[in-house]
Structure 1
Amino acid sequence: MDLILASKKADKTIAEVEGLGGYYTWSSTQFPVLSQKKVAAGLLVLQPRGFAQPHYADSSKIGYVCEGECIVGLISPEDSKEEIIKIQKGDALPVTMGAVSWWYNGGNSEVTIIFLGESSDEYTPGEYCYFFLTGAAGILNGFHNEFIAQIFHMTETESEKFIKDQSSSNILIKINERTKMPDPSNKHELVFNFDSAKPNVEVKNGGVFTTLTGKNLPLLGDLGQSANRVVLEGGALFGPIFTADSSVQLSYVTKGSGCVEIVGLLGKKVLGPIVKEGELFFVPKFFPFAVRAEAGGMEFFSVITSSKQVYGQLSGGKKSIWEAASPSVLEASLNASPAVIQSFKSKIAKGAVIAPPSTI
């Protein structure tokens, strides 16, 4: 199986405006596994007063705020009600396919949001396809002037000006200081904050592992996706684990760097490089993987194509497969003495999916 599982930083610029930010993606030509496995990633960067125009996409995804804070408008086609949501660093926000959204940075510092999830294979497999309501790339520009005039009850002169005003507007624009943007709700049931959530696993001097599933946000059950975040101290190791429910995992390094090892069929290593901040790595279904942070530590955010997150744990702890296996089975399969297996199982029982730096 020939899979390219790691990528450098985003290589494709969808939109970029000086002083406002940009939207960037990973192309299927550089990272072909995205189209092969129908997953995608996008990175939105907004400077203060930067505004990403209203749009919808052909796929559902989960947005994670790496830095900063912004206001998001969401309109579901099902009820046509606009939800105004404030999101900040550490927040995850699901965005369903077909839902119209806009994104505004009303703060004083840059905001960075990574979007990960499944992609459609209808138009550009491995990439999200966006449909903008407004601006030069907006859908209104594609309809005849008479259509616009009739549907919006305008004169043709009014509709001509209406469309002309759109033609010079970019995907990203700057909001005038005098413009009063809508106020967001303080709390929202669609947002999950990883910074304040109780970790599923927390190891002293090692790090934390926090999951987001349909139990935390019911909408994820409809999306068929989930997410998690791993924060590792320098030298700490996460895993090895594998997805046991045929789902795949797409991960983005939000901070630091580390060595990612993925093992494929017949015990063959298929990935083993240093992955750095701003880069993606992909884990196929059933392939075990482990991550060890470099000296400065490492954080990565992942989206899994299942709402449940069923992992097989090959590391230490009570959920470890090694811990569950019978001693006699381990003796035979590992070709080890009873004394060695007893010592092995006692050490496994004390561990967890995260291991702190070795003191040996």
Structure 2
Amino acid sequence: MGTTKVFVALCVCLMAGCCLGQLSVKRRLSYSAQQCRINRITSNEPSRRIECEGGLIEVWDENDEQFQCSGIDARRITIQPNSLVLPSFHPFPRLVYIQQGEGILGVSYPGCPETYQSTSRRQESGRRGEREWQSGGQSDLHQKVHRFRAGDILAIPPGAVHWSYNDGNEEIISIAVNDLNNHANQLDQNFRASFLAGGLGGRSGLRERRGEEQQFQQFQNIFSTFDSELMAEAFNVPEDLIKRMQQSQDRSLIVRAEKGQMRILSPRSLEEEEEDEERRRSKYMGLLDDVNGLEETVCTMRLRHNLDNRREADVFSRRGGRLNIVNQHKLPILRELDMSVEKGHMFPNTIYSPHWAMNSHSAVYVTQGDAQLQIVGNNGETIMDDTVKQGEMFVIPQFFTSICKAGNNGFEYVSFKTTSSPMKSPLVGYTSVFRAMPLQVISNSFRISPSQAQELKFGRQHQTFFLSPQAKSGRSS
């Protein structure tokens, strides 16, 4: 009798787990199931410009059906030297690719300790190997900050307050992709961001352009309408200080910092951080996929990974190019974000094998060069047949088949995916579906001779993904 009760309880638990999993999947589908009737995909530059005091935000058209289908919001952000992106948070995960420049990213987690401690100037003497500055000799405590540079991918969890600062000598240009359809977002597919500072009430600072049309937007920080007396009691500060926070008008989303006041405690160089990360990856190489909670905790998890590291290329061809993939195995935080990214560097006239993504949408940004791209839908209809160029973005929906050929100057791109473990199914090469089929199936399916079926099956037998131009059957890449 006791055994029967235990068995029934286990069955109920399993059924509940399955139902919750199905609800999660259905929730992702519910947003986009009726919005993926795509007839045409185009590669475009951003359609809106939001001009800020310390930079520029360019936004791709959120009403474009390819972005509606994928649930993706994309924007290109330019940060001028000595400028600060104001602290904010949003209900969805974000991946940021740094195309140019270097700077500092801060991400704050509730409950994590302030592990970075600066001291007063009197206590600085005798310390070496640390970069720490203070304003007016005051000490400070804060959570870890992360240095980034060109080629890095940055992972920002939903709900975490984050800010960034350009402490370099050139502009930072980054591509930010937000997964609005992620399971973490329980609101809707509209882009939402809550700012802890700043605000605009007049016709200055924040100007939005749609083509030739110019509009002035208004936004307020989250403190602006709270009762000042109640907030002063909560913070245990004078009410005048709260009113100052609430009346921070005419400040945009990206502001210029006061000179000499943005020297952030940063105790390690970027090279030292990379060495630590390399040792960490080597130490845990070969472990099971299940995270045991010891190698990375929430407060010390890595948020950054460089996509330009040739030694970490997952696909490499001397005549075709290289492909760097960053998924949940290389950057464990992506398991929680359920996103991933790949960067491809294709040599001139190289072909990216025709394939389809099995479990994700892909938002592709062209970083350099150009390519001829074709996308075909499930009914064999042509969805896209066009040349994509530097600075443009397009979406390849899940299960849509695509093929790409690099131009005479090569082709580089960054592809953001809506899953932490992306899988693709190629049609050509030694990992292709044709390679897995018997010759008789291929021959009868297309009404071709066995010799023709063999040629179709083994035409690129030593290659996969990146197919070198004018390669002959049987030759290695």
Instruction: Give 1:134 deviation, angstroms.
Output: 0.7
Cross-structure match for 2:23: none
Of 127-136 and 185-194, more deviation after overlay is shown by 185-194
Per-residue deviation, residues 267-303 of structure 1 (Å, max 9, x unmatched): 1110111111121111111111112121121111111
Please give the alpha-carbon distance, in whole angstroms, between the structure 1 residues aligned to 2:322 and 2:239.
60
Which of 234, 251, 274 is matched with 1:169 structurally? Answer: 251
Query: What secondary structure is seen at the aligned counterpart in 2 of 1:143?
Result: coil
1:251 matched to 2:329? The reply is no
2:8 maps to which residue? Answer: none
Q: Distance in 1 between matches of 2:111 and 2:245?
A: 27
- For 1:58, the equivalent position in structure 2 comes to 91
- The counterpart of 1:95, out of the listed 152, 156, 166, is 156
- Structure 1 residue 184 displacement after superposition: 6.1
User: Counterpart of 2:459 in 1: which secondary structure?
Assistant: helix
What is the CA–CA distance in structure 1 between the aligned matches of 2:411 and 2:65, rounded to whole Å? 25
Which amino acid counterpart does residue 260 of structure 2 have in structure 1? R
Map of 2:46 onto structure 1: 10
Aligned residue among 54, 67, 71 for 2:100? 67
User: Structure 2 length normalisation: TM-score?
Assistant: 0.70
Residue 115 of structure 1 corresponds to 176
Equivalent position of 2:215 in the other structure: none
Matched with 1:129 is 192
- Alpha-carbon shift at residue 359 of structure 1 (Å): 6.8
Q: Is the 8 A contact 1:63 1:113 kept in 2?
A: yes
Larger CA deviation: 65-74 vs 20-29: 20-29
Match of 1:21 in 2: 55
TM normalised by structure 1 equals: 0.91
Map 1:172-321; keep pairs closer than 5 Å. 172-179=254-261, 180-183=263-266, 185=268, 186=270, 187=273, 189-196=302-309, 197-245=311-359, 247-316=360-429, 318-321=430-433
Q: How many residues align?
A: 353
Q: Which structure's residues are more often strand, by fraction?
A: 1
Q: Percent identity?
A: 24
Structure-2 separation of matches of 1:14 and 1:148: 31
Rate the CA distance shift 1:39–1:54 in 2: closer, same or farther, 3 A.
Answer: same
Report the CA distance between 1:44 and its aligned residue. 1.2
* Distance change >3 Å, CA 253–CA 124, structure 1 → 2: farther
Q: Which runs of 5+ in 2 are unaligned?
A: 1-36, 115-142, 200-219, 278-301, 473-477
Contact 1:323 1:348 in 2 (8 A): no
Q: Determine the structure 2 residue equivalent to 1:143.
A: 226
**Residue by residue, what CA displacement relative to the aligned partner does 1:39-80 show, whole Å, maximum 9, x if unpaired?**
111211112112101111121021111111111011123536
Does the 8 A contact of 1:242 with 1:286 survive in 2? yes
Cα-to-partner distance string for 1:69-115 (whole Å, 9 max, x where unaligned): 11101112353652301111111111111111111111111111111
Distance 1:12 1:58 in 2: 22
Per the alignment, residue 447 of structure 2 pairs with 335
Q: Does structure 2 conserve the Cα–Cα contact (< 8 Å) formed by 1:15 and 1:22? A: yes
Q: Contact (CA 8 Å) 2:38, 2:66: kept in 1 or not?
A: no
CA contact (8 A) 1:123 1:129 kept: no
State which structure, 1 or 2, has the greater radius of gyration over its C-alpha atoms.
Answer: 2
Cα distance in 1 for partners of 2:267, 2:41 equals 39
Alignment check: 8 A CA contact 1:117 1:304 kept = no
What CA deviation, in whole Å up to 9, does each residue of 1:127-186 have, x standing for no partner?
A: 53211111113212132322322222233334323433x224322111233122232643
Q: How many Å apart are 1:122 and its aligned residue?
A: 6.5
